[in-house]
Amino acid sequence: MPLAISDDHRALAEVVRDFADSHDLRAGARRALGAGPELAGQTDVRKTGAELGPEWKQIAALGWLGLHLPEEHGGSGFGLPELAIVAEGLGGQVAAGPFLPTVVAAAVIAQVGTHAQRTALLPGLADGTVVASLALVASLTPAAAGGAHEPGAPGGPAPKVSGPAPEVSGGPAPEVSGGTVPGVLHGTVPAALGGVWAGVHLVPVGDDLMVVSAGAEGLAVRGLGSLDPSLGLVALDFDRVVPQATGLLRGGVAVATRVLRTLAAAEAAGGSRAALTMALEYAKVRQQFGRIIGGFQAVKHHLANMLVATESATAAAWDAARAPAGETEADLAAAIAATVALPAYQRTARMNIQIHGGIGFTWEHDAHLYLRRAAVLAAIAGPVEAAEQDVLALSQAGVRRAFAVELPPQAQEYRREARAFVERFHATPEAERRVLLADSGYLVPHWKRPWGREAGPAEQLVIEEEFAGIDVPDLSIGGWVLLTITQHGSTEQIERWLTPSLHGELVWCQLFSEPGAGSDAAGVQTRAERVEGGWRINGQKVWTSGAHLCNRGLATVRTDPDAAKHRGITTMGIDLTAPGVDVRPLREITGHAQFNEVFFDDVFVPDADVVGEVNAGWTVARATLGNERVTLGGGSVGEEARSAGILLDLLARHAPDDVDLGRRVGRLVAAEQTAGLLNLRQIVRAVAGGEPSPEGNISKLLGAEHAQRVTELGMTIAGVAGVTGEEAALTHQYLLARGLTIAGGTSEVSRNVIAERILGLPREPGLR
């Protein structure tokens, strides 16, 4: 799913995609590859006659360069979210040109510039008549005008400049207040984004940005042998260069870093999606060894990983674009976006070539255009290592990203009702509260009436907020089973089981897995033989969560051994207190027992307890598996995965000065935040009435693997303390996390599901 969620944003995204496709913007990136070597080594590329194509004027005419700028300065009065959608769409076609540095420069001037600076600079940037380059790394030394300069002299506060101010194009420079302009600049900027076409250059001096005219005396614009020439990278050499009088942008480096990271992440999301699409289309038609290559599990897993990376990049970029400007949490969101999206783009670009094989390694194929762009963005717009360090530093400083979902007007009525119920709940004797919750529908509000409230996404969110202080019983797996019974059970079963279950008298587990089947839920060997009035069950189930705490279970049994694998299965409700049922807890590697083996020895199940039709139990079982994610947010990562915070404490106590470990912690903090953002996007889309999306399918996979990475890094940080009992809680979590990529379907099966059900790749032979 792209960044756009609202109707307006989706319309804008469609316009950008149509423009990028109809103008074949990717061809510009390819043409630049031919011109790139000509610029390399040139001492002044301003003399090469590098010009922008007609697409630049059209982009400007569409108003995209000024989307985020005030109307009084030639903009449209929107913001970073709209600009990010344009960046995403252009990134999907690896569009050439200075879009990124020009809009970032304009954003910086709009936020920290004086009125005079905004008046002088923004209109030209908004209408495309002025192009800006941007650099965030430099070795520049300011000195007083007319004063002697010694290379390498210590820096310090820039002295004030006396005398007439330099002029900018179009007339005398307006008077500037709020800063001191250094007289001259000496040194080098190793890489300025968009510098080939720039009329003004924004370069860093300490925490500030300086605006320097491209025609300034003493400035040399040197060509580079760039990996991606379509971005117009140059080096800038300064020899006593006088900046513009409008040139000092106080605190501009921080703002430019945040905006560049955000928009580069958006471009990375678009490029990553395009690389995935390119690889997927090829995998669906290319044949090897007599099969479509997309049917091979290894290829499916590569493509599933590409989808996970793309969705993660999209979520992180989306959040960075919507974060409140000027606040530290916006800096955190942008650093997270760079940490997640830029490497994700690199991974998908590399894998696109791998899946294409030899053809993807040829000059004529466009796959390497994405590889080049991804590498340059990661180096220039990050760099990724610096972004990881910023995530760590901001997290250590206590900065957190606060989330809120805009709710419709009717949410106020939901809130009034919920608050009234909460008052009634607290006035009710504790022993009667479970029944009150169940009978009111607030126990399972998303269910249909009479058991739930048929609450839509907005009401579910309100209930979650208002019930924050109430210990609502978690039905967990039992809830999936009961919901299945409401969907496939008989009227008599619903009347007999539902109310006692919601009241807590009956507690259910799911009896699907078997020793010889693993994640193959249809590999059922437990037999049911027809007897008078019902069925006689013999067999074994395993890995049954909570069976030792339950008195009922929904089981799949084989009632027709001669039928096809998926057609001889029947689903039954089994009384776990009945004769012949033996529940044996399984001791895990942690030493504790949460799973169980369940043995059936001539267990009688009456016909009245068969759920659904005989031999049609696979349909019922699939409904139960699907109900795992039926609640809003049901696909979010579990508490065991929301644990990256423990790494901050471990790092502070065991390795506070280890830079490499610190970056790795920052990387996992960013990954954890992004996993939550995937779920948040699903919620926002649901509230807006959007279509189902793949985020829920991805969250389980991400959550399980993330929890393992957290505990593994925790053990590395703790060192000896992790194995001597000093960090006992960490050691326990390290062991426990090993089961998360197995329970509920292995990560390998999850990747197959993503590849087959979301990406539309062929199923494995024999599994149809």
> Do 189 and 178 meet the contact criterion of CB atoms below 8 Å apart?
no
Active-site residue flag, 532: no
The two structure tokens encoding residue 154: 């210590």
| CA atoms within 13 A of residue 503's CA, in its CB half-sphere | 11
Distance CA 661, CA 385 (A): 12
Residues in a beta bridge with 581: 600
Q: Which helix (H) or strand (E) holds 283?
A: helix 252-283
Residues in the chain: 768
Q: Residue 166, preceding bond cis, omega within 30 degrees?
A: no
Distance CA 466, CA 408 (A): 16
> Do 650 and 730 meet the contact criterion of CB atoms below 8 Å apart?
yes
> Do 461 and 406 meet the contact criterion of CB atoms below 8 Å apart?
no
CB atoms within 10 A of CB 225: 11
Q: For tokens 């501009």, name the residue.
A: 252
Q: How wide is the angle at C-alpha 493 spanned by C-alphas 476 and 546, nearest 5°?
A: 25
| CA atoms within 13 A of residue 616's CA, in its CB half-sphere | 7
CB atoms within 10 A of CB 586: 14
Distance CA 327, CA 672 (A): 21
Q: Which of 745, 518, 1 is nearest to 311 (CA)?
A: 1
Helix 297-322 to helix 695-718 angle (10° resolution) is 90
How, if at all, do strands 552-558 and 508-511 pair?
parallel
Burial of 469 from C-beta contacts in 10 A (0-12 / 13-18 / 19+):
exposed
- Write the single-letter amino acid at 149: H
How, if at all, do strands 527-531 and 132-134 pair?
unpaired
CA torsion sign, 611 to 612 to 614 to 619?
negative
Distance CA 162, CA 658 (A): 47
Give the list of residues 6+ apart from residue 66 with CB closer than 8 angstroms, or none: 73, 74, 75, 76, 106, 122, 125, 126, 127
> Do 183 and 145 meet the contact criterion of CB atoms below 8 Å apart?
yes
Q: Residue 343, preceding bond cis, omega within 30 degrees?
A: no
Residues in a beta bridge with 201: 133, 212
Q: Please identify which of the residues 628, 640, 672, 695 carries the catalytic annotation.
A: 628
Give catalytic residue positions: 628
